[in-house]
Copies of this chain bind each other. A is one copy, B any other.
Amino acid sequence: MRLTTFSDYALRVLMYAAAAGERLVTVEETAKTYGISRAHLMKVVNVLTRAGYIKGVRGRSGGFTLAKAPEAINLGEVVRATESDFGLVECFAPGSRCIITNCCRLPQVLNEALNAFIGTLDRYSLADLLLSRHDFTPPRRPITQVRGPHLSPKRPRARTSPSERGRRASNEKARQSS
């Protein structure tokens, strides 16, 4: 399960513009800062502009800046605007050939999970991600940290029977007294 690179870059563009404050930034500069493709970033900036998150200023010293306060840029809304689709499974797009499409209950579960995902993003705005300009200088040490995915293990249900609990408790006692 991944987000598209498009969404990843869109969020980075917004974070960079937010850190720049009122200063106009360029696609060139943003691409160079992150070390990513200028052509790809241009498309991202176009979509963010059309969606009303950033605004451009033409001319020699032109560039773009946030079109709204960071507090007004909701992360759930940004991802809804930048993801090409949320096609978790085949029947989430027209033309499904899966024989059980009409009666399957999996889509309900997946729609619920998807809404839990996007609902979490809905609780955050760009203001929650604000960095300073200094954070965009190259780190002194190589980047070795992996920031995710930090998936919590499934919590096992309490399936143990009373007799099982009794046995475990006496084992525990025996261990402590030894």
Residues of A within 8 A of B (CB): 1-5, 8, 11-12, 15, 33-35, 74-77, 80, 83, 85-94, 96-107, 109-122, 124, 128-129, 131, 135-139, 143-152, 154-155
- The answer to whether A116 and B120 touch across the interface, beta carbons within 8 angstroms, is yes
Shortest Cβ gap from A60 to chain B (Å): 27
CA distance A122 to B103 in the complex (A): 22
CA distance A89 to B103 in the complex (A): 34
Which of B77, B85, B119, B129 is within 8 Å of A2, CB to CB?
Answer: B85
Contacts A90-B8, A109-B121, A116-B117 hold; do A98 and B149 have CB atoms under 8 A apart? no
Enumerate chain B residues within 8 angstroms of A120, measured Cβ to Cβ: 109, 112-113, 116
Nearest B residue to A155 by beta-carbon distance? B122
CA distance A120 to B118 in the complex (A): 12
Nearest B residue to A156 by beta-carbon distance? B74
CA distance A2 to B144 in the complex (A): 27
Enumerate chain B residues within 8 angstroms of A15, measured Cβ to Cβ: 100, 104, 106
Q: Which 8 residue pairs are nearest across A and B when measured between Cβ atoms? A: A107-B147, A86-B149, A113-B120, A116-B116, A117-B117, A92-B148, A91-B147, A8-B89
Shortest Cβ gap from A117 to chain B (Å): 4
Shortest Cβ gap from A25 to chain B (Å): 14
